[in-house]
Amino acid sequence: MTTRVSSNNLLIANELYDFINQQVLPCTKLSSQQFWLAMSSIIEEFSAENQQLLETRSKLQKQINQWHKTNQYNSEDLTSYKNFLQQIGYIETPVEDFSITTSNVDEELATMAGPQLVVPITNARFALNAVNARWGSLYDALYGTDAISESNGAEKSGSYNPVRGQQVINYGRDFLDQVIPLKQGSHHQVIDYQVNDQQLQITLADKTTTQLLNPEQWLGYQGAASNPSAILFEHNNLKFELKFDSGNEISSRDLAGISDIIMESALTTIMDCEDSVATVDAQDKVVAYSNWLGLIKGELSTQVTKEHQTFMRKMAKDKQYLAADNTAFTISGRSVMFVRNVGHLMQNDAILTSDNQPVYEGLLDAMVTSLIGSIDVNSNNEFKNSKFGSIYIVKPKMHGSAEVAFTDKVFTRVEQLLGLNKNTIKLGIMDEERRTSLNLKNCINAAKDRVVFINTGFLDRTGDEIHTSMLAGVVERKNDIKKTRWISAYEHHNVLTGLSCGMSGKGQIGKGMWAIPDNMADMLEQKIAHVNAGANTAWVPSPTAATLHALHYHQENVFTIQQNIADLNTQALLDEMLQIPLATSTNWSEATITQELENNVQGILGYVVRWINQGIGCSKVPDINNVGLMEDRATLRISSQHIANWLHHGICQPEQVEQVIEKMAKIVDSQNTGDATYVPMVSNWQTSMAVKAARALIFEAQHQPNGYTEPLLHHFRYQLKHGKS
Ligand SMILES: CC(=O)SCCNC(=O)CCNC(=O)[C@H](O)C(C)(C)COP(=O)(O)OP(=O)(O)OC[C@H]1O[C@@H](n2cnc3c(N)ncnc32)[C@H](O)[C@@H]1OP(=O)(O)O
Ligand SMILES: O=CC(=O)O
Ligand SMILES: [Mg+2]
């Protein structure tokens, strides 16, 4: 039973009330009385409109379903379909051309291009790693992943393998030749780097001395000039550091004594309160908010035990160097943080209204994450997040411009109530719902004074694509949907729209997640496409992936690419985006159908069982080919909607799906035997809340609002925790 405090017509769970009063408010200028009155005002002023927006979503979905029942969708002639979507307001009339006017944006978002890391905020160990992932070891990232092949004696053996090590060193030297070429010779031949007479002097094996071809790329050093412990360079506005740790096994084998190349990696990080976490009640919300508080104050720390060593992980300090003329300078040691709030859909009983209704969680997040963010705005501590006094909030899962306008209004009011200047809160818009993609220009316009990124969340977007057009016909197999026409049009349209709204140099045009966390070789090969497409950031699942993806921003200069994208005409892409990913042939063999179901069900069970039983919101789950995939609520949305589509159109039958669930539950249980806290499904079949949740997520998927997974996930996890929903 949650105990509650009554304040300003709200019933606030004690955990939340105490956390805000005792830990947050003392760091601000607000009193408890002021804050809870403000919270009450936000809930009072915006709940009805929030509700109304959700009703519009479901009304539009009903109209679309009805249209598909009475009309044949024709991909060759979209006229009547498009007219219908315009008539019901699903496609909006585009606003006049405009440019965004967002100001006070940190350079990491506006004028720099590099990886964006996403991390579940509830996991302090990961969150600390993420904020510190501004800098990452290239050598570790290459040595420890499949970025370098294990063939020809280069295996990752237990101890250091010098054959593999040499390949890492060679890779590093190739990188140096590419980004900081020498006037003469190659970095492969260098035996010494040192500072001499205010210059970086580089000596080759034949004892000739040389310099960088572009000496201004050398920024500074640490240690003694004649024997630096680190040297700092810059290329494409990204920095990296050569490290010289003497006595280290790597440096002792290296011609120039280099022990590592430390790359500027995750320029920005999204601390995620949304799809990668399981926060169903006040207790969970307080974990999320207190980590955000710790990160904003620079005080978060956690004990980590790794390889038989225990240490405290803390936030990295800024990095100090000496410039050529021996003046000291400092550069940031940490990623600039966004916090991703939840969308408009969910309610949470961390606070109840006077008539016992759980409040909209998005309103709660807006107030609390901004309140905590305001500590950064008003402070000048060494861990300051935004040098420009901005609070960066990502708002996911908005449908169309009215919902963005609503967010903008809420943020404006939050600013007033917290005593912040207008537009202090910057908005990252996830372009991840079909109604937002089709009306992206209007969406950006609705927040043009505060928008700071548009990001293609292609995973949610795929789920929405399937759900919205559920009745149009049978969709392609899950992996084949990635090859269909709408998705490339959507990705391209996002970049062009962002550029045409003047986002270049003012904010981020972002691309989606690399969802195969262990496949770094593939990522290195494929994710350059994001840079080539004109996106100045793209999501990565881990710090290691951030370091490797940073290489792409050295390979190409995104801002030059953006300038060279001349044709900003988005009109033709709108029709392409309306190409529903329907299967061209449904003549699949039984084996193919079974394989598709097994793959989807394995992903669903592998993710849901940890979510429901252990409260883990993001997991690496093997697919049926044993490739570990990042699963979160968005990937779950795709898998569940996909099965729902095939069930609805009779490609598979409920009994068949039930059999697949039983079969895959055994496999998922066996995959988790190494986890002592894992609760198996098969041996608890009748009672397992995870099994109930997974079955509901499949068989009730078609009727979930916009195909979202969080209502059912929350329902079953809450039941498990509290014995009721
Ligand atoms: C559609 C969307 O919304 S995408 C956005 C949501 N997705 C995310 O946020 C992805 C976050 N990523 C993760 O949670 C994890 O990387 C997973 C679950 C995908 C894979 O995890 P695993 O490979 O099993 O990681 P594992 O537990 O082995 O951890 C490996 C190390 O990497 C670190 N790490 C992994 N992911 C992250 C991350 N996102 N941020 C910071 N550190 C991370 C861990 O801290 C750990 O290092 P440590 O031992 O020094 O603490
Ligand atoms: O939030 C990201 C997505 O792909 O969905
Ligand atoms: Mg998403």
All residues at 6 or more sequence positions from 675 whose CB lies less than 8 Å from its CB, including other chains:
none
Nearest ligand to the CA of 272 is: 1
Q: Which residues are catalytic?
A: 340, 632
Residue 359 CB neighbours (<10 A): 25
Residue 16 has φ and ψ, to the nearest 5°, of -70, -45
Query: Region 240-257: what's the mean pLDDT?
Result: 91
Q: Which residues contact ligand 2 via a Cβ below 6 A?
A: 275, 396, 430, 432, 457-460, 512-513, 634
Query: Region 680-709: what's the mean pLDDT?
Result: 97
Query: Region 450-465: what's the mean pLDDT?
Result: 98
H or E element at residue 118: strand 116-120
pLDDT number for residue 574: 94
Question: What is the distance in A from the centroid of ligand 3 to the CA of 683?
Answer: 33
Say which residue the tokens 């004990």 belong to: 303
Residue nearest atom 3 of ligand 1, based on CA coordinates: 275
State yes or no: pLDDT of 568 exceeds 80: no
State yes or no: pLDDT of 157 exceeds 90: no
Q: Which CATH number fits domain 39-135+267-577: 1.10.3720.10, 3.40.50.170, 3.20.20.360, 3.40.250.10?
A: 3.20.20.360
Question: What is the distance in A from the centroid of ligand 3 to the CA of 573?
Answer: 22
pLDDT number for residue 256: 96
Question: What is the distance in A from the centroid of ligand 2 to the CA of 282?
Answer: 25
pLDDT number for residue 4: 97
pLDDT number for residue 633: 98
Q: Are 504 and 562 in contact (CB under 8 A)?
A: yes
**Residue 246 pLDDT grade (very low, low, confident, very high; cuts 50, 70, 90):** confident
**Domain 148-264 architecture:** Beta Complex (2.170)
Residue from 276, 460, 487 to probe ligand 2 pocket by mutation (most atoms less than 8 Å from CB): 460
Q: pLDDT of 407-422, one tens digit each?
A: 999 999 999 999 999 9
CA-closest candidate to residue 372, choices 285, 490, 310: 285
Q: Are 458 and 396 in contact (CB under 8 A)?
A: no
State yes or no: pLDDT of 724 exceeds 80: no
Query: Region 518-544: what's the mean pLDDT?
Result: 98
For the chain, what are the domain ranges?
A: 39-135+267-577, 148-264, 590-722
pLDDT number for residue 725: 60
Flag whether 435 is marked binding.
no
Query: Region 28-39: what's the mean pLDDT?
Result: 98
Query: Region 19-38: what's the mean pLDDT?
Result: 98
Look at 91-100, 129-138, 241-250, 420-429 and tell me which has the smallest mean pLDDT.
Answer: 241-250
Structure ipTM: 0.98
DSSP 99: -
CA-closest candidate to residue 509, choices 440, 555, 573, 567: 440
Angstrom distance (rounded) from CA 434 to CA 93: 15
Matching CATH topology for 39-135+267-577 and 590-722? no
Q: Give the global pTM.
A: 0.98
Task: Tell me the CA distances in angstroms from 119 to 243, 451, 551, 617, 697, one per residue in order.
Answer: 28, 22, 21, 10, 24
Q: pLDDT of 641-654, one tens digit each?
A: 999 999 999 999 99
Q: Are 276 and 594 in contact (CB under 8 A)?
A: no
Nearest ligand to the CA of 512 is: 2
pLDDT number for residue 571: 87
Q: pLDDT of 66-104, one tens digit each?
A: 999 999 999 999 999 999 999 999 999 999 999 999 999
Flag whether 299 is marked binding.
no
Residue nearest atom 38 of ligand 1, based on CA coordinates: 542
State yes or no: pLDDT of 1 exceeds 90: no
Q: What percent of the chain has pLDDT over 90?
A: 96
Angstrom distance (rounded) from CA 600 to CA 618: 16
pLDDT number for residue 252: 87
3-state secondary structure (DSSP) of residue 196: strand
- How many helices (H) and strands (E) the chain has is answered by 26, 26
pLDDT number for residue 159: 87
Nearest ligand to the CA of 606 is: 1
Q: pLDDT of 177-236, one tens digit each?
A: 999 999 999 999 999 999 999 999 999 999 999 999 999 999 999 999 999 999 999 999
Residue from 121, 123, 126, 633 to probe ligand 1 pocket by mutation (most atoms less than 8 Å from CB): 126
Q: Are 171 and 151 in contact (CB under 8 A)?
A: no
DSSP string, 420-437: PPTT-EEEEEEE-SHHHH
**Domain 590-722 architecture:** Up-down Bundle (1.20)
Q: Are 618 and 630 in contact (CB under 8 A)?
A: yes
Angstrom distance (rounded) from CA 106 to CA 506: 9
Angstrom distance (rounded) from CA 122 to CA 174: 39
